[in-house]
Amino acid sequence: MEETYKNILVAVDGSEQSENAFQEAIKIAKRNGATLNILSVIEETGNYFGELTLSMGNLMEDIRTKEEAKMKIRESKALELGVSDVFTYVMYGYPKTLIAEFTESKEPIDLIVIGRTGLNGFERLMVGSTTSYVVNHTKANVLVVNITV
């Protein structure tokens, strides 16, 4: 029996693989008449360097403003391609846990679409990939999208 998804989450980070995941999520949402939730996580890091904290705050706000503009473009694209319900989220925190435990939508997520790898190659080397964490820690089904060659 074929699974029908009603509430899909796609995680994006600007990498080619996450953009491919976004394209795939649009197709799945359209085919299923599903809600598409698009999530971008701005990773927060602790900072205890006095005045540098203020400039980091301004930098983080600049990053958020730019990311929100990109999310509006993604939302418009999904709507243009036939997805009727699209919600975007830009959140601060740790991407692995925010994706795996996403609870911002009205209904529980039943499918997470994510790229095999993202922008942070060093993290993959040192502590394992965000994708691997999500696959092993979420209750939703996960579709891992590879770059198409």
Residue pair 28/111 in contact (Cβ under 8 Å)? The answer is yes
In tens, the pLDDT along 83-123 reads 999 999 999 999 999 999 999 998 999 999 999 865 555 54
Containing structural domain, residue 19:
7-145
Q: Could you tell me the CATH number of the domain that includes residue 39?
A: 3.40.50.620
pTM to 2 decimal places: 0.85
Does residue 1 sit within a domain?
A: no
Task: Take residue 82 and report the two structure tokens written for it.
Answer: 């036939």
Give the integer Cα–Cα distance in Å for 74 and 68: 10
Give the integer Cα–Cα distance in Å for 73 and 101: 25
Helix H segments across 1-149?
16-32, 51-80, 95-100, 121-127, 130-137
Give strand pairing partners of 92: 42
Q: pLDDT band for position 53 (50/70/90)?
A: very low
The per-residue pLDDT for 1 is 41
Work out the average pLDDT over 13-26. 93
Q: pLDDT band for position 3 (50/70/90)?
A: confident
Work out the average pLDDT over 39-62. 68
The total number of structural domains in the chain stands at 1
Q: pLDDT band for position 80 (50/70/90)?
A: very high
